[in-house]
Amino acid sequence: MIKIVHVVNQFFAGLGGEEKASLPVGVIEGSAGAARGLEPKLGDEGKIACTVYVGDNYFHEHKEAALKAILDAVRAAEPDVLVAGPAFNSGRYGLSCVEICNAVANALQISCLTAMHEENPGIGAYREFVNARVYCLPTTEATTGMSDALARLARFAIRLARGEEIGSAAKEGYIGRGIRRIERADRRGAARAVEMLLKKINGEPFESELPMEVWDDAPPAPPLDHVKDRNIAVVTTSGVVPWGNPDKFKTYRNTYWRKYNIAELKELEPGKWEAVHGGYNVAYMNQNPHYGVPLDALRALEAEGAIGLGKLYPAYYVIPGNQGSPAVMRRIGQEIAADLKKDNVEGVLFVAT
Amino acid sequence: MKLELADFPVKQIRVGNRFKYESEILEVDEGELIALVLEDTRITEAALAVAVPGEQTRITGIRDIVEPRFKVAGSGQVFPGILGVVENVGDGRTHRLSGMTVIAAAEYEGTIRAGTTVQRNAILDMSGPGAEISRFSSCRHLVLSFRIAPGLGELDAHGAIQSAEYKVAQRLGQVTAKLSPVEIVTYDLSKKDPALPNVMLVQGCITDPQHVHSGVGYYGLSLRNSLSTFVHPNELFDGAVTVDTTRSGRGYYPTTWDWQNHPLVLELYAAHGKNLNFGGVVLQRIRFETSHGKEVGAQNAARLAKAMGADGALVTWIGGGNAFVDVMLTVRACEQIGIKTTLVTYENGGREGKDSPVLFYIAEANAIVSTGSLDKVIELPAMDKVIGPYEQIKIFPFPGAALMPARGALSLEARDVMIGGADIWGQGEFRCAEY
C-alpha cells in the first residue's frame, strides 16, 4: 500500500477562505476537506497518511517556519510520495505548492507532485527549481476540473511511488521542467529534419524539438568615479595560468576558479604563463600573456597615477571560460564577486576572450 | 552531374596475403598495405587489426574514419587534391565498400599544448554503453595503427595520417574494380519538378584560419576566411570535402566517413523529385571572429542559397562555442530573405540537462531538430582488448592531464573523447526531449 501525504491550503482543507489565510501549518489524520477526493482515486493501491495544511498568507509571510513545520510533519509520516494541490489558477497557493514540493524533495529525497493551471505563477518557480524529483500536472483554470485533476494526480502519484520510469513531459503529460534528456526518436534526425522543413514550407503545423529560451539581461554597472581611489582587480576567462597549469584546469567545462599572485610582478613574462583554453588559438596569448591579464598596462597606469598606489589587487582571478555551463559560471561569478567584496574591491577589469 | 554509387557490402574483413572480395568477405594483403603506408617516410611503424561489432574491444588514438571508395568511371579520383591532382569529381561511377571503414589510429603528441588547434584523438568501444552511443560501433573496421616520426609539426603529421588512411581506403575500394556490385544507386539532380519546393543544405563549418590546416579541406585546400561556396552533393560522395586529421578525433566533429555519408544530403536526395527538389550544398565558413564577420558570413550564405533558388534550407554545422552565433545568424538571414529553415544541431545542457541547451537564441529559429547532447556522462567498462597506438590515454587535452589505462573502466564526463559520441547531422535517432 502506497503512502501519500497530501498538502493543501486552508480552503481545500475545509477550514475556511481568505479570512483563514493566516492559519499556521497543521496536520489532519487521513484526508480532509475538498481535497478528500484524492483518496478514492487511489483505489486499493494507496492511502493518504495525513493531510498537511497551511494558510496561503501564513506560508508566504513565515516561509521558513512554515517549511520547517511541513518538513517535520512529512518526515514523521514517512510517505512514498507527496502530493500538493491542485492549485488551479490560485497564485499564492500554486507558489506554495511548488516551494513545498521542492523543499520536501530536496530534504527527504522523495518524489513530489503538484498540479495547477499553466498560467499559475507557481509554474515560473517550478521551472526555475528544475528539480528532477518534482512534477507538475496541468489543470483547468477553475476548480471545475477538480475531479479530473485528482484522478490524474492519483495515477501519477502511484507511478512515482512505484519508482516507474517517467518519460518526457510531452509523452507523460506533465509540465516540462526544462531538463533535457537524451531519448531515441522513431526515425533518424536527418529524416525528421526533412519532414519538419517540408511542413514549415507547406504551412502545416510542426513542433520544434528545441524551444527558444529567453535569457537574463545583465545590465552593465554604472561607471566607477574616482578610479584612482578605488581598489581594482582583474578577473579573466582567458585561462592564463602559471606555466605548467598547476591547478589542472581543463581546456573546457571547468568548474572552479583560482587566483594567482601578481603583487611583486611588473609584467607577465612569456614562458612563465600559458593559456589553458580550448576555445581560441592560444599561440598569441602564450607569446604575450598581457592579452589576458594586462598587467603591463595596469602598472603603467599606476605609474601615471591613474590607478592609486597599492590599489591594484595583489592577485588576478581566472577560469578558462570555454564551454562553461551557464549554471556553473553563474556560481563562479557569485563566488568571485563574494571574494572580491570581502577584500573591498570596488572595480573589476573583466578580460574575456 | 550524375554519380552511380556501386555498393559492395562487407560483412567480414580478413587480414591475409592477397586482395579479394567475394560473398561480402574482404580479404586484404597485409604486406602490401603496410608497404603502401610506409612509402611515406614520416610514418615509422604500421600495423593492421580488425574490429568487429559486439566484441570487447576498445580502439585508441583514432584520428579519422573513412569508407573505402574507388572511382571506376568519370573524371578524377576519390579525395581529389589529396591523393591526386585537383580534378572534378562527382560524375561517373564510384565503388564503395559499405558496412566497413578504415580507421586511422596514430600516436601523435603535437607541438601545441592547448587551444583550438591542439591535437585530439578519440576512442571507440565495440560493445557496451560506449558502443550504444556511437554510430561507428556497428561497422566492421580495418584499424590502421601507426606511429609517425617524432617532432613533426601539425601539418606534416596531418599529411602523413591522411594520405595513409586515404591510400589504404582507395586501395581497398580498388579490389572491387572489376566486380559487379550488389546494388547501384544513382545520384542525379538534373531533373527538377517545378511544382516542388527547392531545398538546400547550408553546411556551416568552423575553421581556424590562422592554423596550418583550417579544419575543413575543399579539394585538399584549407577553407579559411572564405565566403560561402556551392558544392554539388556528389562531390562529397567522392571525398572533395575532408577533415584535419590531427583534430577531427573528437565526439562532435565529423570524420571523413561522415562527409562521404552525410545523412542530411542522403535524406534530401531521398526526397528529391518526391517532396522537394534538392538544390545542393552551401558550404559556409563559420566562427568569424567579429560580430561584423558573423553577419557578413551569415547573410552571404543566405544570399547564395537564394540565388540558387532555395525556398527552404536545412541549416547545420560543425563546431562548438561562438560558431553557433554564426549558425543562428544564418538562420535569421535565411528567414529574412524568404528561405524557410530547419536547424539541425546537437545540444549541450550540462550533465544533468538543466543548463541552456544551446548558447545563442533568436526568435526565427522556430524549427529545430535536436540530435542529442554532448554533455551526458558515460561510464565505460573495462575491455578485454585494446587496438591502436595507445595503451594509456588522456581523457582531456590539457597540459599535465593524467594518463589512464586504455583497457580499464573509464568515466567520461562528456562525449568528446568518443568518436561519433555525439550525433551532429542526424545520422541516428538520438534527440533530447524536455523532462
Q: Is this complex's ipTM strictly greater than 0.95?
A: yes
Whether residue A179 is contained in a domain is answered as no
Q: A95 and A167 share a domain?
A: yes
pLDDT value for B299: 98
Chain B residue with minimum CA distance to A186: B429
pLDDT value for B158: 98
Q: How large is the C-alpha radius of gyration of chain B?
A: 21
CB contact under 8 A, A281 and B314: no
Give the gap in angstroms from C-alpha B17 to the nearest C-alpha of chain A: 40
Q: A340 and A257 share a domain?
A: yes
**Whole-angstrom Cα distance, residue B117 to residue B222?**
14
Pick from B242, B266, B277, B373: nearest CA to A193: B266
Whether residue A201 is contained in a domain is answered as no
Average confidence (pLDDT) over A139-157: 96
Whether residue A200 is contained in a domain is answered as no
Average confidence (pLDDT) over A283-295: 96
CB contact under 8 A, B399 and A180: no
CB contact under 8 A, A182 and B376: yes
pLDDT value for B397: 73
pLDDT value for B82: 97
Residue whose grid cell is 562529397: B236
Pick from B228, B222, B175, B185: nearest CA to B334: B228
pLDDT value for A328: 84
Cβ-Cβ contacts under 8 Å for A341 (sequence gap 6 or more) = none
Q: How many domains does chain A have?
A: 2
pLDDT value for B327: 98
Q: A162 and A297 share a domain?
A: no
DSSP letter string, A153-207 = HHHHHHHHHTT-----HHHH-SPP-S-EEEEE-SS-HHHHHHHHHHHHHTT----
CB-count burial class (<10 Å; 0-12, 13-18, 19+) for B39: exposed
Q: A159 and A238 share a domain?
A: no
Cβ-Cβ contacts under 8 Å for A72 (sequence gap 6 or more) = none
pLDDT value for B226: 92
Residue A272 belongs to domain spanning: 227-351
Q: Which residue positions in chain B have pLDDT lower than 50? A: none
Residues of B in contact with A131 (CB under 8 A): none
Whether residue A252 is contained in a domain is answered as yes
Chain A residue with minimum CA distance to B350: A325
C-alpha cell at A201: 514550407
A327 pLDDT band, cuts 50/70/90, is: confident
Pick from B69, B62, B114: nearest CA to B92: B69
CB contact under 8 A, B263 and A278: no
Q: A72 and A159 share a domain?
A: yes
Average confidence (pLDDT) over A63-91: 97
Whether residue A221 is contained in a domain is answered as no
Q: Which residue type, as a one-letter code, is found at position A102?
A: N
What does the mean pLDDT of chain A come to?
Answer: 94
Q: Is the confidence at residue A216, as pLDDT, over 90? A: no
Q: A17 and A165 share a domain?
A: yes
Percent of chain A with pLDDT over 90: 88
**Whole-angstrom Cα distance, residue B149 to residue B159?**
12
Whether residue A108 is contained in a domain is answered as yes
Q: A317 and A237 share a domain?
A: yes
A244 DSSP 8-state letter: T
**Whole-angstrom Cα distance, residue A224 to residue B384?**
63
pLDDT in tens, A4-27: 999 999 999 999 999 999 999 999
pLDDT in tens, A157-179: 999 999 999 999 999 999 999 99
pLDDT value for B359: 86
C-alpha cell at B418: 568518443
- Give the global pTM: 0.90
Q: How large is the C-alpha radius of gyration of chain A?
A: 27
Whether residue A220 is contained in a domain is answered as no
Domain holding A55: CATH number?
3.40.50
